[in-house]
Amino acid sequence: MWDYTDKVLDHFRNPRNVGYIKNPDGVGEVGSMACGDALRLMFKLDDQGRIADVKFQTFGCGSAIASSSALTEMIKGKTLEEAEKVTNLDIVKYLGGLPEQKMHCSVMGREALEAAIENYRTGADKKVSLEGKVVCICFGVTEEKIKRAIIDNGLTTVEQVTNYTKAGGGCGGCKDQIAEIIRELAEKGEIKPKGEPVQSKRMTNLERIRLIQNIFEQEIKPGLAMHGGNIELVDVEGNRVVVTLKGTCEDCCIANVTIKDFVEPKLRQHLSEDIIVVEEK
């Protein structure tokens, strides 16, 4: 199970600056809900050219929410010149670390900020479109994006590139191309390892339980309630989450479908891909 710092959990449970700004000065949109992550960031400047207000809307996992929330706090009050110096590694350090597999969430935040600033300065399209050769068809990741992630973060392995961009995380058919890009950049001397990013501390079982309960309240229970159902957490044993179904979900002939096709995917999205949800009998 992925481990998160207290600051990541705080920004996930209590995200700052969520919402919409009427008539913003700059708007940036990155990602796609079809690929699993999407982020819209917008800002309003004051008379001195500083970011007076900044809001975000995101579709994604807990790390995406926390990274977006942290970024808005980091840039509020800055000039655009100061804000554009914020890197994805700065976001990670601000949060006290992210799991390696979630580093792409910090990259998405940086990209949305850059798009918003570009939108303000040039009137360019607020949504970042794919430019250049697409290497990863599964997640729509271009060669240019992969190269930038490698250079900016000193990446030296395909696995690291996947963690930072999601490229190679689907069918895996592009991994040979990613390895070739790494090799070419290394031969040109463009890869300068920056050391390992700050890693998250190990999450206690109590913290896991609280996070799961929070996901239940915010994302799972409202969906079940629409059909008169409910769910309660019984226990957490490592990657095994034990639940009990209530209301119309109790003794329902498709209860196992509800657990495996709705509850389990939600928890895997926010926690870890090896999460298993079982019903207490």
Q: Could you list the active site residues?
A: 35, 105
54 alpha carbon, distance to own chain's centre: 18
Structure tokens at 265: 């995917």
- Identity of residue 228: G
Q: What does the alpha-carbon distance between residue 118 and residue 100 come to, in Å, rounded to a whole number?
A: 29
User: Token pair 């209590």 is at which residue?
Assistant: 14
Q: Provide the H-helix boundaries in the chain.
A: 6-13, 62-75, 80-83, 88-94, 103-122, 143-153, 158-165, 175-187, 205-215, 221-225, 255-258, 264-270
**Residue 279 phi/psi, 5° resolution?**
-90, 135
Beta strand 229-237 with 240-247 is antiparallel
Specify the length of the chain in residues: 281
Q: CB-based contacts of 81: which residues, under 8 Å, 6+ apart?
A: none
Contact call for residues 2 and 207 (beta carbons, < 8 A): no
